[in-house]
Amino acid sequence: MKNGLPDAIDVVEAKTSKIDAVDFENLVFGNVFTDHMMICDYVNGEWQNPVIKPYGPIELEPSAKVFHYGQAIFEGMKAFKDDQDQVWLFRPEDNFNRFNKSSVRLAIPEFPKEFFFEGLETLLNLDRDWIKKGFGNSLYIRPFVIATESGVSASPSKSYKFMIICSPAKAYYSGEVRVVFAEKFSRAADGGVGYAKAAGNYGAQFYPTNLAKEEGYQQIVWTDANTHEYLEEAGTMNIFFRVGDKLLTAPTSDRILDGVTRKSVITLAEEHGIPVEVRRVKVQEIVEAAEKGELKEIFGAGTAATINPVKGFGHQGKKFELPELEDSYATFFKKELMNIQYNKSEDKYGWRYLV
Out of 50, 109, 302, 314, which residue is the one contacting ligand COI (CB under 6 A)?
A: 302
**Is there binding between residue 194 and ligand COI (CB under 6 A)?**
no
Sole window of 15-23, 44-52, 79-87, 301-309 interacting with ligand COI (rule: CB under 6 A): 301-309
- Determine the Cα–Cα distance for residues 103 and 169; give it in Å rounded to an integer: 26
Sole window of 126-134, 210-218, 278-286, 298-306 interacting with ligand COI (rule: CB under 6 A): 298-306
Which residues sit opposite 89 in a β-bridge? Answer: 79, 353
Nearer to ligand COI, 50 or 76 (CB): 76
Residue nearest to ligand COI (CB): 76
Closest distance to ligand COI from the beta carbon of 304 (Å): 3
Closest distance to ligand COI from the beta carbon of 76 (Å): 2
DSSP string, 151-169: --SSS--S-EEEEEEEEEE
Closest distance to ligand COI from the beta carbon of 257 (Å): 8
Look at residue 291 and give its three-state secondary structure: helix
Sole window of 148-156, 157-165, 303-311, 337-345 interacting with ligand COI (rule: CB under 6 A): 303-311
Nearer to ligand COI, 169 or 355 (CB): 169
Closest distance to ligand COI from the beta carbon of 47 (Å): 23
Three-class SS of 114-125: HHHHHHHHHHHH
- Count of Cβ atoms closer than 10 Å to residue 163 Cβ: 18
Closest distance to ligand COI from the beta carbon of 1 (Å): 31
**Is there binding between residue 304 and ligand COI (CB under 6 A)?**
yes
- What Rg value do the Cα atoms of the chain yield, rounded? 21
Sole window of 45-53, 108-116, 146-154, 296-304 interacting with ligand COI (rule: CB under 6 A): 296-304
**Is there binding between residue 202 and ligand COI (CB under 6 A)?**
yes
Q: Report yes or no: 310 and 322 within 8 Å, Cβ to Cβ.
A: yes
**Is there binding between residue 70 and ligand COI (CB under 6 A)?**
no
Cα dihedral 197→202→204→205 (10° resolution): 130
- Determine the Cα–Cα distance for residues 123 and 115; give it in Å rounded to an integer: 12
Sole window of 223-231, 246-254, 300-308, 328-336 interacting with ligand COI (rule: CB under 6 A): 300-308
Closest distance to ligand COI from the beta carbon of 302 (Å): 4
Instruction: Report the alpha-carbon angle 55-121-60, nearest 5.
Output: 35
**Is there binding between residue 173 and ligand COI (CB under 6 A)?**
no
Amino acid at 269: A
Short-list 214, 304, 201, 207, CA closest to 254? 201
Closest distance to ligand COI from the beta carbon of 100 (Å): 16
Closest distance to ligand COI from the beta carbon of 237 (Å): 7
Closest distance to ligand COI from the beta carbon of 79 (Å): 13
Binding mask 232-251 for ligand COI (x = CB under 6 A): ----x---------------
Burial letters 87-114, b for 16+ CB under 10 A, else e: bbbbbbebbbebbbebbebbebbebbee
Quote the DSSP letter at residue 38. E
Nearer to ligand COI, 157 or 303 (CB): 303
CB-based contacts of 153, cutoff 8 Å, min separation 6: none
Positions in 92-151 near ligand COI (CB under 6 A) = none
- Determine the Cα–Cα distance for residues 319 and 114; give it in Å rounded to an integer: 49
Out of 50, 76, 119, 208, which residue is the one contacting ligand COI (CB under 6 A)?
A: 76
- Determine the Cα–Cα distance for residues 59 and 51; give it in Å rounded to an integer: 15
Applying CB under 6 A, the residues found at the interface with ligand COI are 76, 202, 236, 302-305
